[in-house]
Amino acid sequence: MKMTPALRARLLGLMTLCLGSLAQAAPFVFTAIPDQDERHLTERFGKIADYLSEKLEVEVQYIPVKSYPAAVSAFRNDQVQLAWFGGLTGVQARELVPGSEAIAQGVEDTEFVSYIIAHASTGLGESEQLPAGLAGKRFTFGDKGSTSGRLMPEFYLRQHFGQAPERLFSRVGFSGDHNRTISLVQSGAFELGAVNYAVWEAEKAKGNIDESKVGVIWATPAYPDYQWSIRGDVDARFGAGFKQKVQQALLEMTDPELLAAFPRSGFIAASNDDYAPIRDTAVAIGIMDPEQ
């Protein structure tokens, strides 16, 4: 059959329509740093995916990752377009993806804190200052990339004692997530640990903490932490104004069940500038290069 100009035009039109439909059918994918065990994460974010699918009118998928660096890599490599990051991982990811933005944070994330917790055998009680009795004990952080489980606690420990954790403590560990930090200190495997206050309070409310064995001895000053970050190319892929729609969907999340999964009382707008103090702290203790 002879390919006439009219037929060619019709075929090109059909191809364009099909390609457009395929592009629109591509799912919008997000992930989250694995700050708790995988079962918690799947329960939390499966429901968030359903909520976002309804609000955005596109298929939304949540994919789990195994580590904090894996969350950053997934964002960098465009395996995900949106991520629930901690303060440090968010800074790291956005610097690797030009045009990406922090668009929302929990109400509590503007004034986040970390707890230093201690096993009862240490004899350490709650204090307004870091007690001298920390020195020489076994201490576990959370993940190496955690803002609340490593970055900010380490900063204040260095500032107060004038030395690196490896010199201050007899042993330094990295548990991988906040739930495991609590378990390790509660069991006595480590005498001390640094933990996200929100996870501690949530686990205590569930009855998962034996306060005869482990307790909070110090809280850091407040700092900005978790946030939703989005890639800068989402409007080109999902339509003009899509980034704003995602932000609005997050800000309008009011279902107590969804919010309890974080746990947060709600979400407010955020910007990259909000996390400049986190970057400065990471540079100060050598986690990030000042030239990055």
Q: Delineate the domains of the chain, giving CATH numbers in brackets.
A: 25-110+224-284 (3.40.190.10), 113-219 (3.40.190.10)
Question: What is the mean pLDDT of the segment spanning 199-224?
Answer: 94
Supply the pLDDT for residue 260: 83
Residue with the bigger pLDDT between 61 and 24: it is 61
Do 214 and 185 meet the contact criterion of CB atoms below 8 Å apart? yes
Do 120 and 214 meet the contact criterion of CB atoms below 8 Å apart? yes
pLDDT tens-place string over residues 70-94: 999 999 999 999 999 999 999 999 9
From edge to edge, which strands make up the β-sheet containing 101-106?
Answer: 60-62, 28-32, 82-85, 227-230, 101-106, 267-269
Whether 186 has a pLDDT exceeding 90, the answer reads yes
215-245 burial code (b ≥16 CB/10 A, e <16): bbbbebeebbbbbbbbbeebeeebeeebbeb
Question: What is the mean pLDDT of the segment spanning 177-198?
Answer: 95
List the single range of 54-58, 120-124, 227-231, 257-261 with lowest mean pLDDT: 257-261
pLDDT, the chain, mean: 89
Whether 210 has a pLDDT exceeding 60, the answer reads yes
- How far does CA 9 lie from the centroid of its chain? 49
pLDDT tens-place string over residues 232-291: 999 999 999 999 999 999 999 999 999 987 889 999 999 999 999 999 999 988 887 776
Q: How many Å apart are CA 238 and CA 240, to the nearest integer? A: 7
- Is this structure's pTM higher than 0.95? no
Supply the pLDDT for residue 250: 97
Q: How many Å apart are CA 130 and CA 199, to the nearest integer? A: 21
Torsion angle of C-alpha atoms 71, 82, 196, 175, degrees rounded to 10: -10
Tell me whether strands 114-119 and 82-85 are parallel, antiparallel or unpaired: unpaired
Supply the pLDDT for residue 190: 98
